[in-house]
Structure 1
Amino acid sequence: MDSRKLIKSFIYASHGILHVIKSEQNFRFHLLAAIVVIIASITTGLSKTEWIIIIMLICGMFMVELLNASIERVVDLASPDYHELALQAKDLAAGACLIYAICSAVVGLIIFIPKWWGILF
């Protein structure tokens, strides 16, 4: 394996991450939500298993948002003019983000509500 190629692949990937942070409002929203969830996780005292679940949910959301942004770019490149199928492709990718976000929120509530309940009452 060529170490220069490996290093370049990490550099290209980091460029993609920086680009999505700069250009995608939803990614920035999920980044802020992740920070809030991490702070809540620290203060709540999660188990090791709960931490693993939270980290997987956060990273999964970032991956889905990156894939959504990628699909949007490819669709825009392939179909610069309006086309119903292009719109559907973009809507489907955005729908995947929404489903994962809802799933993450539900799982987060399942983890956090009993802990908050124990703290508050």
Structure 2
Amino acid sequence: MDASAKREQFQRKKPSALKLFLNSRGNSFKYASRGLRYVIRTQKNAWIHSAIMLVVIAVSFWLQLERMEWVAILLVIGMVWTAEFINTSLESIVDMTSPERHPLAQVGKDVAAAAVLFAAIIAVIVGILVLGPHLRIKLGL
């Protein structure tokens, strides 16, 4: 095989930039899905978040919310889940790096848990502000 044939064969085997990009994105989705499954499987509060989220979404459809009301509802749902994911991640890292109880490790875990609590409280307030008036009308209160 001459040099040009070898070069052509090598170039055919080299993946394109598009293929590399798509593989990289596919791996990113795979890792994110694995993280989501871990949170759902191991975190009791994730089940509570899931149940409340499904109820809020169902009620929002029933009330036929306006577009910007949907935006508010979806943003706070996303905020709670994001806080939960970061909290779980931080707890795992702290547990790995500091297996024995350390006051600063506990502070990190407590602050991350407080972020989830704060996000959930804000979500409840937004839910009341957005859904409350619609529910009063729909239920005739």
TM-score (norm 1): 0.96
Decide which structure has the larger Cα Rg and report it. Answer: 2
Runs of 4+ in 1 over 4 A off after TM superposition: none
Which residue of the other structure, out of 14, 29, 36, is the alignment partner of 1:10? 29
- Structure-2 separation of matches of 1:111 and 1:5: 39
TM-score (norm 2): 0.83
Which residue of the other structure, out of 81, 104, 117, is the alignment partner of 1:98? 117
- The answer for unaligned runs of 5 or more in structure 2 is 1-16
Identity of aligned residues (%): 34
2:48 pairs with 1:29: yes
Deviation at 1:116, TM superposition (A): 1.3
Letter in structure 1 aligned against 2:129: I
Indicate the residue corresponding to 1:63 in structure 2.
82
Residue by residue over 1:27-57, the C-alpha shift from the partner in whole angstroms, topping out at 9 and shown as x without a partner, is 1110111000001101111001101111111
- Structure-2 separation of matches of 1:41 and 1:95: 27
- The answer for unaligned runs of 5 or more in structure 1 is none
CA root-mean-square deviation: 1.0
Indicate the residue corresponding to 2:67 in structure 1.
48
Where 1:46 maps in the other structure, the secondary structure is: coil
2:104 pairs with 1:85: yes
- Structure-1 separation of matches of 2:46 and 2:119: 13
